[in-house]
């Protein structure tokens, strides 16, 4: 059996952690990054206890440390020998109204979700071009479709990420590099459990299975799950501001 390798940023919790388990079950070797190395080491041990044939490399990484991104991916590449898929997944959410919540919170969301993602994609592309192939996957959000009240910075970060990845796809269309952008709705993770409303929420294991299926199909873009978000997403972009303001 030929094992493929996936590197997942933001793998210590949420969809990143669930996807690490899902891809291990499917026979993928894993490169896992997050800010908390001790959590990654524990996750590595847990996965290897169930899937001993899976090669797992871990690296502490804050994607806002742009120089460290390149070094961490290079180290994982050396340990794993190959990176077939890079999932750009690290992200944060801080809710609040603009001008009321601290400016630093808004900027932190942009810095992690967009600037950190750009740094990760840039470093990943350099590796993929060296090895002659690769698959870039980014975790965007339904929030990318429309700026949402109380989450303006988060919406902006995900809209920017989606547009950035579309640009990367256009730049690499003649190379052996695939580009996928996934737009999840509400998946039951710590990042959204404090929200008053989470319509159509799905559990994180189901979300990971859908992610994995879409990644393996190398889709260009998709919502997670497809229904109802493939309908609701575009609708959000068309609703009057007076309606959006009530959300």
Report residue 168 as tokens. 């990367």
Pairing of strands 85-88, 56-60: unpaired
| Active-site residue, from 51, 66, 145, 154 | 154
28 is catalytic: no
**Full strand arrangement of the beta sheet holding 56-60:** 56-60, 29-34, 5-8, 85-88, 134-139, 177-184, 221-224
Task: Show the CA angle centred on residue 142, arms to residues 117 and 16, nearest 5°.
Answer: 50
CA distances from 68 to 35, 75, 113, 161, 209 (A): 11, 10, 16, 20, 30
Catalytic positions, please?
154
């Amino acid at each position: 059996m030929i094992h493929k390798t996936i590197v997942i940023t933001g793998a210590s919790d949420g969809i990143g952690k669930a996807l690490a388990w899902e891809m291990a079950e499917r026979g993928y070797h894993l490169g896992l990054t997050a800010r908390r190395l001790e959590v990654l080491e524990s996750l590595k041990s847990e996965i290897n206890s169930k899937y001993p044939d899976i090669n797992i490399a871990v690296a502490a990484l804050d994607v806002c440390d742009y120089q460290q991104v390149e070094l961490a991916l290079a180290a994982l590449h050396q340990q794993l020998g190959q990176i077939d898929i890079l999932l750009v997944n690290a992200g944060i959410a801080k809710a609040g109204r603009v001008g009321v919540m601290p400016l630093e919170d808004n900027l932190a969301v942009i810095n992690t979700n967009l600037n950190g993602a750009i740094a990760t994609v840039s470093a990943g592309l350099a590796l993929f071009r060296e090895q002659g192939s690769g698959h870039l996957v980014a975790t965007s959000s339904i929030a990318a479709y429309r700026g949402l009240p109380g989450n303006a910075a988060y919406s902006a970060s995900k809209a920017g990420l989606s547009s950035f990845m579309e640009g990367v796809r256009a730049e690499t269309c003649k190379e052996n590099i695939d580009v996928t952008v996934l737009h999840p709705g509400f998946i039951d993770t710590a990042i959204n459990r404090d929200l008053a409303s989470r319509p159509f929420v799905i559990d994180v294991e189901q979300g990971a299975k859908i992610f994995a299926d879409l990644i393996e199909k190398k889709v260009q873009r998709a919502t997670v799950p497809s229904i109802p978000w493939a309908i609701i997403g575009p609708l959000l972009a068309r609703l009057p501001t007076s309606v959006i303001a009530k959300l």
